[in-house]
Amino acid sequence: MTTVEEAVSSDLRLSVLDQSMISEGSTGPETLRNTLDLARLADELGYHRYWVSEHHGGRFVAGASPEALIGPIASVTSGIRVGSGGVMLPHYSPFKVAETFSVLAGIFPGRIDLAVGRAAGTDQLTTFALQRDRRQAGPDDFPQQLAELLGYIEGAQPEGFPFAHLASAMPGQPEAPVPWLLGSSPQSAIWAGELGLPYAFADFINPGGVDFAGLYRERFTTGLREQAPRTIVALTVFCADSDEEARAMAASSRMAFSLLRAGTPIQLPPPAKALRFLEDRGDTSPQPRGRRAIYGTPPTVRLEIERLADIYGAEEVVVVTVAYDHEARRHSYELLAEAFALTPRVARAEAA
């Protein structure tokens, strides 16, 4: 079996998605400080990008506002790309989102990603609370919202569009964020392909998306925005010095997500508590129900990541590691960087 020491550099890009989940006994502010700390580490280790997610109304998650986190993250890092994973566009005015990310792109040129999604990131009542006008449910007009957002980012709206003049008023011009479309369904794949956008598929939500990634490539409009399809696959990964440690680390999120599905959300429990919970339920399966998780030692994890990236046709993997212990999560990303022989960003800068 290949050892970490024998690992050679891979062409596969590795990135990070941080959901800023709150651990039992911790607080939101502490969790957000851990997000900044992990971003600094990912930057130093040579990860390609660092995305933060958007979830609302849960006492178990601190990542409610990616647009508020991206600036601080970019400020404490030097070269890693920073962005949203993603902005849940149905909650917002496309113009406001475009302005916000234009500001970020102007301050941090060449480093800002704007990945958008259609999901609510919360329950129906909280979705309603996010609306400015609560007289009725908001319209389901995501394609129109997305088209308007892209027009502002690209500096050109269709002739006759009532807000066309605002496309030339983005505060960060000529800098602009790079748009991505997030998804876990065939519809998102179709939209991304037809619009010629880079596409990030959430395997950690829906592990059955290989055909969707193929659909994206089939529907891709070459030259509209990109010359070729660009695919990211987001995977749940737990990397540790032993299989037992990796499984224990994974148990916290397994318990939390199991109770979330049952309608009783909790903060991330300690591994020992989570293992007892899973044992009491008779849950001896190596995989969470309806999900996929990669866990083990660095050689095992690397092989599985490369296998899944290959079947998805992905050039990049975004790694999602939801762990109770911040140091264990840091160590997981360190081991993964070593397994893939990532070039530390400081060394890269010195060589340049």
**pLDDT tens digits along 67-125:** 999 999 999 999 999 999 999 999 999 999 999 999 999 999 999 999 999 987 777 77
Distance of alpha carbon 50 from alpha carbon 74, whole angstroms: 9
Tell me if 3 is assigned to some domain: no
pLDDT at 8: 40
pLDDT at 278: 94
pLDDT at 347: 60
Number of domains in the chain: 1
| CB 114 within 8 Å of CB 87 | yes
Tell me if 62 is assigned to some domain: yes
Tell me if 214 is assigned to some domain: yes
| CB 241 within 8 Å of CB 212 | no
| CB 120 within 8 Å of CB 90 | yes
Tell me if 201 is assigned to some domain: yes
* pLDDT tens string 222-231: 999 999 999 9
* Averaged pLDDT for residues 140-151: 95
Q: State the CATH number of the domain containing residue 235.
A: 3.20.20.30
What band does 33 get if pLDDT is binned at 50, 70 and 90?
very high
* Averaged pLDDT for residues 245-264: 93
| CB 322 within 8 Å of CB 252 | yes
Residue 145 clears pLDDT 60, i.e. is over it: yes
Q: What angle do CA 81, 85, 66 make, to 5 degrees?
A: 85
pLDDT at 177: 98
Strand ranges inside the chain, DSSP E: 13-18, 49-52, 81-88, 112-117, 178-183, 199-202, 231-239, 294-296, 316-320
Tell me if 239 is assigned to some domain: yes
Neighbours of 228 (CB within 10 A): 11
Q: Global pTM?
A: 0.92
Residue 350 clears pLDDT 70, i.e. is over it: no
Distance of alpha carbon 95 from alpha carbon 150, whole angstroms: 10
* pLDDT tens string 284-325: 776 777 789 999 999 999 999 999 999 999 999 999 999 999
Which residue would you say has higher pLDDT here, 234 or 160? 234
| Pairing state between β 199-202 and 231-239 | parallel
Residue 128 clears pLDDT 80, i.e. is over it: no
Name which of 119, 88, 113 is nearest 101 in CA terms.
Answer: 113
* Averaged pLDDT for residues 195-206: 96
pLDDT at 5: 36
Where in the sequence is the domain holding 58, given as residue range(s)? 13-351
Distance of alpha carbon 115 from alpha carbon 108, whole angstroms: 16
Distance of alpha carbon 334 from alpha carbon 14, whole angstroms: 12
In percent, the amount of the chain with pLDDT more than 90 equals: 80
| CB 266 within 8 Å of CB 60 | yes
Mean per-residue pLDDT over the chain, rounded: 92
Tell me if 6 is assigned to some domain: no
CA distances from 72 to 36, 88, 300 (A): 8, 20, 34
What band does 352 get if pLDDT is binned at 50, 70 and 90?
low
Both tokens of residue 281?
């339920």
Tell me if 5 is assigned to some domain: no
Tell me if 141 is assigned to some domain: yes
* Averaged pLDDT for residues 56-69: 92
Whether the bond between 158 and the residue before it is cis, its omega within 30 degrees of 0, is no
Q: Which helix (H) or strand (E) holds 37?
A: helix 28-45
